[in-house]
């Protein structure tokens, strides 16, 4: 089997977003004619695209209605067998996940559903999430399921994941089961997974570039314009501009009606045209093609070329054609504004706004009223401001708000905010609460009603934010805080167990034995229900000799759980606790014990901590050379480096 190269899973989530936005057009969102109730009816039947549209236009789940319905629809998403719809829904849920009970679990379930349906992208993203959160037990369950299925594509992806996470033994087990080559793997992927994979291999360090070049060659022979143009984007990122040009030239022959391919090809010609005239005809040809296919950016660039060259005839020819279009017409309006032809620009935008072009509406509504007497212009601005204010297309208000920054805009901006509050917009309520300053009780009291209202709509994040406003040490406020956590526990939110444990650890009664026992009880409940972060709190209670919960036997049990969980960071901090004598008595032997275990699990900080303890001791050298991979750095080099720079260094 050709080895799949190791990639940085840390980059995967960022990559997921960047792939979606690469070379996007700046097209306006046209306000849909579909009514909200029709979309809700479709979503009630499991139509994920309708759920997505309700987010785009009506900002679901930001409103009370939207949150209630998204909670209702979540199980329908998990029942879907459409991978592409699920992966399109995934980033929306990610954006709003804190609003839901057990947010991380729901997030993982969405990705698991897509994985079960064959999405390799979902498997990469889910695995990176589990590794980042030290959820190796869950990753192991997914691995066992994939091994049982014997799905070659998933096995190859899983092999890559284990290599990255330094679980070499697991990777070797998977490798024995793989019979498929990289080439076969690539061809079996869906279009979106192919594009995702090409970006992954671009980001990888490539030995001789064999796999990368093989896939590039296979792509251009595919006769799939979307795949070929997608690979061109990868080549562009890799500064292989002539190859990218060749790919786009092939793609445009296969699909002459894609404005983005024409636009990207024109820009490839610009990059390689060092003489500024060799590809001039091709640049204008493809920009014109894109402009006539209603591409805003292409029209914008083309008009600038005609202006620079004073090409009047070409300008009039283009103008006559694009006046019948939408985005290209908006580009012409913006061109007029740059030429200070304000009235002509206003006329075009007003025509587009009348046809529900959202960018045209916002451009007119955000216009600044001149101090000069211009009643027609002022009336036009007011007309579209009021349209935004009273429109049921709630996303228009969010589009306009960032532009309302002048003193003259304050009154109107407050009107928009009031409308959003009337529409039960949870996000706006949270923003209002966060924007107040909490230096006095009056200001704190001003924020709390916003959070109470948002929390009453079912927003989980608002409940936690509200709880945080109540003082641990004030008896009345502490009760309110605890009541919120108990309510969340009744609703099934696992995170609340740990928060309740923390609340009792700061009890206003002064940490009585009863409070401490309650705190430990809820930390254990949190850990038992899957909150790995509670383990450190449990261990601290058991190792603390001054605490009523001190129990050496129990501490060993839970420290072993940290080892089982491969929680290197916790073991590193535990070593530090014994090293400096915080909470417990200083114990060099135990500090070394936990630092060693942490370093074996990959903690670079533990290497440095052991270096500080051992210095030139023979025992340290023997341990270091046994644990650290060969040909990386000798023990002596590590010590010399440390003494020279007097800073902690990674001994890997």
Residue pLDDT, tens place only, 197-211: 776 666 554 443 456
User: Could you give the CA distance from residue 534 to residue 527 in angstroms, rounded to a whole number?
Assistant: 6
Query: Which tokens sit at 283?
Result: 């640049």
- For 272-314, the pLDDT digits (tens) are 988 778 899 999 999 999 999 999 999 999 999 999 999 999 9
- Shared-domain flag, residues 501 and 587: no
pLDDT band at 442 (very low <50, low <70, confident <90, very high): low
Per the model's pLDDT, the better-predicted residue between 645 and 355 turns out to be 355
Tell me, rounded to whole angstroms, the distance of Cα 652 from its chain centroid.
30
- Structurally, the chain folds into a number of domains equal to 2
Region 627-647 average pLDDT: 43
Candidate from 181-195, 329-343, 364-378 with smallest mean pLDDT = 181-195
| Cross-strand bridge partners of residue 357 | 30
Give the structural domain span for 485: 470-566
- For 553-584, the pLDDT digits (tens) are 999 999 999 998 888 889 999 999 998 887 88
- Shared-domain flag, residues 592 and 623: yes
Q: Does 588 have pLDDT greater than 50?
A: yes
The reported pTM is 0.82
| Cross-strand bridge partners of residue 63 | 425
pLDDT band at 30 (very low <50, low <70, confident <90, very high): low
Instruction: Determine, yes or no, domain membership for 650.
Output: yes
End residue of a domain, out of 566, 583, 613 = 566
pLDDT band at 620 (very low <50, low <70, confident <90, very high): low
pLDDT at 36: 92
- For 594-611, the pLDDT digits (tens) are 998 888 877 778 878 887
Q: Does 413 have pLDDT greater than 90?
A: yes
pLDDT band at 641 (very low <50, low <70, confident <90, very high): very low
Taking alpha carbons only, the member of 122, 189, 126 closest to residue 152 is 189
Candidate from 41-55, 365-379, 435-449 with smallest mean pLDDT = 435-449
Please work out, in degrees rounded to the nearest 5, the angle formed at the alpha carbon of residue 98 by the alpha carbons of 68 and 109: 80
- Shared-domain flag, residues 607 and 651: yes
pLDDT band at 652 (very low <50, low <70, confident <90, very high): very low
pLDDT at 635: 40
- Shared-domain flag, residues 549 and 583: no
Average pLDDT, rounded, for the chain: 85
Instruction: Determine, yes or no, domain membership for 393.
Output: no
Q: Does 6 have pLDDT greater than 60?
A: no
For residue 602, is it left (φ>0), alpha (ψ between -120 and 50) or beta? left
End residue of a domain, out of 546, 566, 586 = 566
Q: Which residues contact 131 (CB under 8 A, 6 or more apart)?
A: 9, 139, 161, 164, 165
Are the C-beta atoms of 613 and 579 separated by less than 8 Å?
Answer: yes
- Shared-domain flag, residues 534 and 588: no
Q: Does 510 have pLDDT greater than 90?
A: no
- Shared-domain flag, residues 523 and 556: yes
pLDDT at 15: 45
- Shared-domain flag, residues 559 and 578: no
- Shared-domain flag, residues 562 and 481: yes
3-state secondary structure of 357: strand
Q: Which residues contact 362 (CB under 8 A, 6 or more apart)?
A: 388, 396, 399, 400, 403
Instruction: Determine, yes or no, domain membership for 590.
Output: yes
- Shared-domain flag, residues 552 and 612: no
pLDDT at 377: 94
């Amino acid at each position: 089997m050709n080895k799949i190269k190791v990639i940085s899973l840390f980059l995967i989530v960022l990559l997921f977003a960047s792939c979606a936005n690469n070379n996007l057009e700046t097209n306006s969102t046209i306000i849909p004619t579909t009514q909200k109730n029709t979309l809700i009816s479709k979503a009630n039947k499991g139509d994920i695209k309708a759920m997505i549209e309700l987010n785009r236009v009506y900002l679901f789940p930001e409103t009370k209605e939207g949150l209630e319905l998204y909670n209702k629809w979540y199980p329908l998403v998990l029942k879907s067998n459409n991978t592409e719809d699920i992966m399109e829904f995934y980033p929306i849920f990610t954006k709003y996940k804190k609003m839901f009970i057990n947010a991380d679990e729901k997030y993982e379930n969405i990705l698991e559903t897509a994985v079960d349906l064959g999405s390799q992208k979902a498997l990469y993203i889910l695995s990176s999430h589990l590794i980042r959160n030290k959820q190796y037990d869950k990753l192991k369950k997914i691995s066992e399921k994939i091994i049982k299925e014997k799905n070659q594509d998933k096995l190859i992806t899983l092999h890559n994941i284990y290599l990255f996470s330094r679980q070499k033994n697991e990777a070797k087990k998977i490798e024995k089961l793989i019979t498929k080559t990289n080439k076969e793997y690539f061809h079996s992927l869906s279009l979106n997974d192919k594009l995702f994979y090409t970006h992954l291999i671009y980001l990888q360090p490539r030995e001789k570039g064999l796999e990368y070049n093989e896939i590039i060659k296979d792509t251009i022979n595919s006769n799939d314009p979307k795949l070929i143009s997608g690979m061109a984007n990868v080549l562009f990122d890799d500064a292989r501009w002539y190859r990218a040009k060749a790919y786009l030239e092939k793609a445009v022959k296969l699909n002459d009606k894609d404005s983005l391919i024409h636009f990207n090809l024109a820009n490839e010609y610009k990059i390689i045209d060092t003489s500024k005239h060799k590809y001039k005809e091709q640049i204008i040809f493809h920009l014109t093609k894109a402009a006539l296919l209603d591409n805003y950016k292409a029209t914008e660039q083309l008009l600038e070329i005609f202006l620079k060259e004073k090409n009047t005839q070409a300008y009039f020819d283009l103008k006559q054609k694009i006046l019948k279009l939408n985005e290209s017409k908006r580009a012409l309006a913006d061109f007029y504004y740059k030429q200070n032809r304000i009235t002509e620009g206003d006329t075009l935008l007003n025509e587009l706004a009348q046809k529900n072009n959202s960018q045209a509406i916002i451009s007119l509504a955000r216009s600044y009223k001149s101090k000069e007497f211009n009643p027609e212009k002022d009336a036009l601005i007011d007309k579209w401001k009021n349209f935004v204010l009273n429109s049921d297309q709630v996303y228009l208000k969010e589009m306009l708000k960032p532009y309302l920054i002048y003193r003259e805009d304050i009154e109107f901006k407050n009107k928009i905010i009031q409308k959003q509050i009337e529409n039960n917009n949870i996000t706006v309520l949270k923003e209002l609460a966060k924007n107040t300053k909490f230096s006095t009780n009056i200001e704190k009291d001003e924020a709390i009603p916003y959070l109470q209202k948002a929390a009453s709509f079912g927003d989980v994040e608002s409940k936690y934010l509200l709880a945080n406003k109540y003082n641990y040490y004030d008896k009345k406020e502490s009760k309110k805080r605890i009541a919120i956590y108990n309510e969340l526990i009744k609703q099934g939110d696992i995170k609340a167990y740990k928060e309740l444990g923390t609340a009792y650890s700061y009890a206003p009664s002064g940490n009585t034995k009863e409070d401490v026992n309650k705190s430990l009880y809820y930390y254990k409940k949190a850990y038992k229900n899957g909150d790995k972060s509670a383990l450190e709190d449990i261990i601290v209670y058991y190792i603390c000799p001054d605490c009523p919960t001190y129990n050496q036997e129990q501490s060993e049990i839970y420290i072993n759980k940290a080892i089982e969980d491969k929680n290197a960071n916790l073991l590193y901090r535990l070593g530090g606790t014994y090293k400096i004598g915080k909470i417990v008595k200083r114990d060099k032997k135990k500090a070394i014990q936990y630092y060693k275990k942490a370093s074996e699990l990959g903690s670079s900080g533990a290497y440095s901590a052991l270096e500080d303890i051992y210095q030139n001791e023979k025992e340290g050298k023997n341990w270091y050379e046994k644990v650290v991979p060969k040909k990386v750095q000798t023990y002596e080099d590590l010590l010399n480096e440390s003494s020279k720079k007097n800073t902690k260094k990674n001994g890997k």
